[in-house]
Chain A
Amino acid sequence: MSNPVAITAALRLTMEHEIPAKLVRELRRADDFIRLAVVGGFKALAAAPPREMAPEARGVFIGTAFGPLETNFQSLGSLINDGEGQISPTLFSHSVYNSAAGYAARLLDFQGPALTVTDYGWPFLIALEEARLAVASGRVERALVLGVEVYSELLADAYRRSFAGRQVPWHRGAVVWVLDRAAAVESRLALLREVEVTGVPCATGDYLTRTDELCRVAGRELAPDRHTLAAVETLSDLVKDLPVGTAGEIDWVCSASFGSASLRLLV
């Protein structure tokens, strides 16, 4: 059985976001990776149609290339500075990639699956397809899908030294979508058909430069900014701002030296 899947909210977030008052206390010890995920999820859910459902019917799906990399280095620094057995427990637990999914599940009361996947190509789209399958198969009624990146100063230094002092193109941010079983919602941005991501071997530096990444939608070419979230940020804007009265299928494809990705929207 395959249920049609609706996109009911799509937004992007940068670090300039304001933390909602009800989350301030809960997020006081959280790192930026966790904050982006939780606040992004909170805002996307506020934008989605309200639905009554059991918490077990809601799932969180996060895709990230670099995860909580800055916290990972703080944890490593704590080991080096403070000595063996002295890593801060909070730093260590927050350096685990799925800490953000755990926070989001707890603070937003999602008691279905909480999945984190990592990939250097299009991690948000990999998480999106897992979420789509979960809704389509009836395992969940609603899925919160997040792409989150916070990078790190070490990575930025490596970028500048690898590519002749070029300005680092990325920013800390998140892309957040909400998926719902289509029959359960009256309003939606679009229906989501299959998402396909295929990776191919490439020079490792290509994951940082993304110089040949090119997206096409409805015959138009879009050259996104050169960072992991850029292509899906433009996709998110497209979904959010589909003109009223648009109808038909929209194919979005993206290609780069590290592979290809595509998805089909029905509006």
Chain B
Amino acid sequence: MTTPNPPDNRPPQVAVTGLGGIAAGGSDSAELWRNLAAGVVRCGPVPEYLFRTILNFPVFAAPQNCLSDRARALLAETCPNFRAESVSRTILLTVTAAAEALHQAGIGAADLRKLRVGIALGTTVGCTFHNEDYYVAWRDNLAPDLAPVHSYLGGNVAAALHRLLGTRGPSAVVTNACASGTDAIGIGRNWLAAGHCDLAIGGGADELSRVAYNGFASLMLADTVPCRPFSRDRQGLNLGEGAGVLVMERQESAVVRGGKVLGRVRGYGSAADAHHPTAPHPEGRGLKTALAQALREVGAGEIVLVNAHGTGTKANDQAETAALAVALPGAAAAAIVSTKGFTGHTLGAAGGLEAVFTLLALRDGFTPGTVGCGELDPGFAVRPLLHSEGRRLSGRLGLSQSLAFGGGNSVLVLEAVV
């Protein structure tokens, strides 16, 4: 293991050396980014390969075959007996994103075996037992075959990825609802800073589930047409599925091994609203605290992009813009966007995917506007970008932020290195 801290006791810089993603809009981060920039929206009825429903809330479904060729090739080396049908769709999405990120980082199967690899992943659906057939049979005293229970016990996403990659090191599945992916990247950063691992895979993954779909419907938070974050006429969210992952290393280690540094995680903050079981604090109290924590190293004035949570619900978008107006006093200078009109709300995956989008926008010096937003809500204290308002970015620092059920708020400060 390398020395955790530089001699002057400053926390080590945490570099991003790989990005990976999969969602409705594409099967890897390059395709996702291309389609986001082009405003391609793949939102429609729930496909039958996921589940049947009589409800009419559209979703953003990832491709039916969500295990990429690159992921299959990696698993052929690390887990030769792997069978895709033996794991959950959430795990398949995770492996696809992780394989892309590791490939980009130049980390192969042999490297993984030599390193202490930390895996921190966020999920919501991926940690639950939602096998309806089993549940109904059990309730009817039919003593169903126990395979679904064992599948559930083998379904911890971080433990499963360790198992499939043959890696050893710290492991955490973050279940902070919609902020899980952001927190998981923050945890990976903290592990690297503390010297707990040599390389960290951080992000999130979630598949679409009938229970979550119905749950959001019953909470009256889902929209019957593609969502319109920050719009005057927004009516709620659409669920989506996917995975987004960063490969992180201490900058010194990445440079020594010849890895290309794509960016850095420059800050992380997390704070509770302590306000209501499901609704955000109306003024974004916890988000303001999380922003202040995350911005301890970087000045608010240096931020040129905010990838907001921007779900398209009335309460979220109001609270989030209220907090940004206070925490980023120069917010007029930063481009504020939501990408959920492109991915849907992917729950535990959202923070991972949005961190990927933030870094890609900062790399290219350009952000697309907010997909789905045609006319802004005039009541906001800051002005997010309309869909038609893609913007050139004049700096390399941005925020990716997430708000969650239960009042959780998490923020990453990300920097692109070009």
Contact = CB atoms under 8 A, between A and B. Distances in A.
Interface string B118-162: 000000100111101001101100010010011101101011001
B169 A111 contact: no
Nearest to B220: A89
A98 B406 contact: yes
B274 A110 contact: yes
Contacts of A198: 168-171
Interface string A191-222: 00000111111001101100000000000000
A65 B363 CA distance: 39
A84 B217 contact: yes
Contact of B285 (A76, A111, A113): A111
A119 B407 contact: no
Interface in A109-126: 109-120, 126
Contacts of B406: 96, 98-99, 101-103, 105, 114
A79 B175 contact: no
A76 B174 contact: no
Contacts of B359: none
B296 to A, nearest CB: 9
Interface residues of A, number: 66
B127 A67 contact: yes
B316 interface: no
A204 to B, nearest CB: 4
B361 to A, nearest CB: 27
A130 interface: yes
A103 B277 contact: yes
A115 B176 contact: yes
A161 B146 CA distance: 8
Interface in A122-166: 126, 129-130, 133, 137, 139, 154-155, 157-158, 161-162
B232 interface: no
B68 interface: no
Given A56-B289, A88-B218, A102-B407, A201 B172 contact: no
Nearest to B218: A87
Interface stretch (B208-216, B238-246, B376-384, B385-393): B208-216
A106 B176 contact: no
Interface string B269-312: 01111111110000001100100010000000000000000000
A175 interface: no
Contact of B127 (A77, A85, A94, A118): A118
Contact of A98 (B156, B176, B219, B274): B176
Interface in A57-109: 60, 67, 69, 72-73, 75-77, 79-80, 84-89, 92-99, 101-103, 105-106, 109
Contact of A133 (B136, B176, B190): B190
Contacts of B53: 84
Given A77-B139, A112-B271, A157-B138, A200 B168 contact: yes
A105 B274 contact: yes
A117 B172 contact: yes
A196 B191 CA distance: 11
A246 to B, nearest CB: 28
Contacts of A109: 274
28 contacts: A60-B272, A72-B128, A73-B135, A76-B132, A76-B135, A77-B135, A84-B54, A84-B214, A85-B217, A86-B218, A87-B215, A89-B218, A92-B219, A97-B124, A98-B404, A99-B406, A101-B176, A101-B406, A105-B273, A105-B407, A111-B272, A116-B175, A119-B159, A137-B11, A161-B143, A204-B154, A205-B150, A208-B153
Given A87-B214, A105-B406, A119-B158, 19 more contacts: A73-B135, A76-B211, A80-B135, A84-B214, A87-B215, A88-B218, A101-B272, A102-B405, A105-B274, A112-B270, A117-B172, A117-B174, A118-B173, A118-B175, A119-B156, A198-B169, A204-B150, A204-B154, A205-B153
Interface of A: 1, 55-56, 60, 67, 69, 72-73, 75-77, 79-80, 84-89, 92-99, 101-103, 105-106, 109-120, 126, 129-130, 133, 137, 139, 154-155, 157-158, 161-162, 196-201, 204-205, 207-208
Interface of B: 9, 11, 53-55, 124, 127-130, 132, 135-136, 138-139, 143, 146, 149-151, 153-154, 156, 158-159, 162-163, 168-177, 183, 187, 190, 193-194, 196, 210-211, 214-215, 217-219, 270-278, 285-286, 289, 293, 404-408
